[in-house]
Amino acid sequence: MAHPRRRNPDTGTDAGPPLRAGKVLLTLWPYLTEFPLRVAAAMSLLIAAKLAGVWMPQLLKHLVNALTPRNGAILTVPLGLLLAYGALRFANVLLGELRDVAFGRVAERAQRRSALRVFQHLHRLDLDFHLTRRTGGLARDIERGVDGISFLLRFTLFNILPTLLEIALVAGILWKQYDIRFAAIALVSVVFYIGFSVWVTEWRTEYVRAANNMDSKANTRAIDSLLNYETVKYFGNERWEAQRYDESLAAWERAAGQNRLSLSALNSGQSLIVAASITAMMWLAALDVSQGRMNVGDFVAVNAYMVQLFVPLNFLGFVYREIRRALTDMQKMFGLLDQRSRVQDAPAAQPITAQRARVSFERVSFGYTAARRILDHVSFDIPEGRKLAVVGASGAGKSTLARLLFRFYDPDSGHIRINGRDLRELTQDSVRALIGVVPQDTVLFNDTIEYNIAYGRPAASRAEVERAARMAHLDGFIAQLPEGYATLVGERGLKVSGGEKQRIAIARALLKDPPILILDEATSSLDSAAEQAILGALREAAERRTTLVIAHRLSTITDADEIVVLDRGRVVERGGHAELLAAGGHYARLWAHQREQARGGSAGASASVEQALS
What are the pLDDT digits (tens) for 6-34? 344 444 444 445 555 566 667 677 767 77
129/111 same-domain check: yes
81/41 same-domain check: yes
Q: Do 140 and 215 touch, CB atoms closer than 8 A?
A: yes
Q: Does residue 14 fall inside a structural domain?
A: no
Angle of CA points 444, 447, 448, to nearest 5° = 100
Higher local confidence (pLDDT), 599 or 520: 520
Confidence at residue 612, expressed as pLDDT on a 0 to 100 scale: 43
Confidence at residue 607, expressed as pLDDT on a 0 to 100 scale: 44
d(CA 386, CA 485): 33
pLDDT confidence bin for 614, thresholds 50/70/90: very low
The CATH number linked to 499 is 3.40.50.300
pLDDT confidence bin for 378, thresholds 50/70/90: very high
Strand pairing category for 387-392 and 546-550:
parallel
Q: Please state, rounded to an integer, the average pLDDT across all residues of the chain.
A: 78
pLDDT digits (tens, 9 = 90+) for 300-323: 777 777 777 777 766 666 677 677
pLDDT digits (tens, 9 = 90+) for 472-525: 888 888 899 888 888 888 766 667 777 788 888 888 888 888 899 998 876 665
Confidence at residue 395, expressed as pLDDT on a 0 to 100 scale: 75
Q: Edge-to-edge, what's the strand order for the sheet holding 387-392? A: 435-438, 516-520, 546-550, 387-392, 562-567, 570-575
Higher local confidence (pLDDT), 497 or 459: 459
Which of 21-35, 190-204, 419-433, 455-469 shows the lowest per-residue confidence on average (mean pLDDT)? 21-35
471/378 same-domain check: no
Confidence at residue 548, expressed as pLDDT on a 0 to 100 scale: 93
Q: What type of residue sits at position 513? A: D
pLDDT at 158 over 80: no
Q: Does residue 3 fall inside a structural domain?
A: no
Instruction: Name the residue among 407, 318, 288, 416 with its Cα closest to residue 358.
Output: 416
Torsion angle of alpha carbons 397, 399, 403, 404, nearest 10°? 30
Torsion angle of alpha carbons 468, 470, 474, 475, nearest 10°? 120
318/354 same-domain check: no
Confidence at residue 602, expressed as pLDDT on a 0 to 100 scale: 45
Confidence at residue 159, expressed as pLDDT on a 0 to 100 scale: 67
Instruction: Tell me the pTM.
Output: 0.62
d(CA 6, CA 271): 45
Q: Do 416 and 406 touch, CB atoms closer than 8 A?
A: no
d(CA 378, CA 360): 10
Q: Is 170 helix (H, G, I), strand (E, B) or coil?
A: helix
Confidence at residue 9, expressed as pLDDT on a 0 to 100 scale: 41
359/462 same-domain check: no
Terminal Cα-to-Cα distance of the chain (whole angstroms): 28
Higher local confidence (pLDDT), 81 or 450: 450
312/398 same-domain check: no
Burial letters for 257-271: b for 16+ Cβ neighbours within 10 Å, e otherwise?
Answer: eebeebbeebeebbe
pLDDT digits (tens, 9 = 90+) for 168-187: 777 777 787 777 887 788 78
Angle of CA points 358, 364, 368, to nearest 5° = 120
423/468 same-domain check: no
Neighbours of 380 (CB within 10 A): 17
Q: Which of 286, 321, 338 is the last residue of a domain?
A: 338
Average pLDDT for 71-95: 69
Q: Which of 314, 338, 362 is the last residue of a domain?
A: 338
d(CA 107, CA 158): 12
Structural domain boundaries, residue 442: 438-513
Q: Does residue 12 fall inside a structural domain?
A: no
d(CA 569, CA 588): 19
pLDDT confidence bin for 405, thresholds 50/70/90: very high
pLDDT at 388 over 90: yes
Q: Which of 338, 365, 386 is the last residue of a domain?
A: 338
494/572 same-domain check: no
d(CA 178, CA 168): 15
188/317 same-domain check: yes
Confidence at residue 408, expressed as pLDDT on a 0 to 100 scale: 87
Q: What type of residue sits at position 391? A: V
What share of the chain has pLDDT > 90, as a percent?
13
pLDDT confidence bin for 608, thresholds 50/70/90: very low
pLDDT confidence bin for 196, thresholds 50/70/90: confident
Helices assigned H by DSSP within 374-435 = 398-405, 428-433
Q: Does residue 13 fall inside a structural domain?
A: no
454/592 same-domain check: no
Confidence at residue 600, expressed as pLDDT on a 0 to 100 scale: 65
**Helices vs. strands in the chain: H and E counts, helices first:** 20, 10
Confidence at residue 21, expressed as pLDDT on a 0 to 100 scale: 55
361/214 same-domain check: no
pLDDT confidence bin for 421, thresholds 50/70/90: very high
What share of the chain has pLDDT > 70, as a percent?
81
Q: Does residue 132 fall inside a structural domain?
A: yes
Confidence at residue 360, expressed as pLDDT on a 0 to 100 scale: 94
Which of 211-215, 331-335, 454-458 shows the lowest per-residue confidence on average (mean pLDDT)? 331-335
Q: Does residue 376 fall inside a structural domain?
A: yes
Q: Does residue 586 fall inside a structural domain?
A: yes
Q: Does residue 471 fall inside a structural domain?
A: yes
Give the DSSP H or E segment for 600.
Answer: none
Neighbours of 372 (CB within 10 A): 9
196/275 same-domain check: yes
Confidence at residue 33, expressed as pLDDT on a 0 to 100 scale: 75
DSSP string, 366-378: EEEETTEEEEEEE
Number of domains in the chain: 3
Higher local confidence (pLDDT), 110 or 195: 195
Q: Do 569 and 375 touch, CB atoms closer than 8 A?
A: yes
Q: Do 444 and 365 touch, CB atoms closer than 8 A?
A: no
Confidence at residue 257, expressed as pLDDT on a 0 to 100 scale: 85
pLDDT at 51 over 90: no
The CATH number linked to 57 is 1.20.1560.10
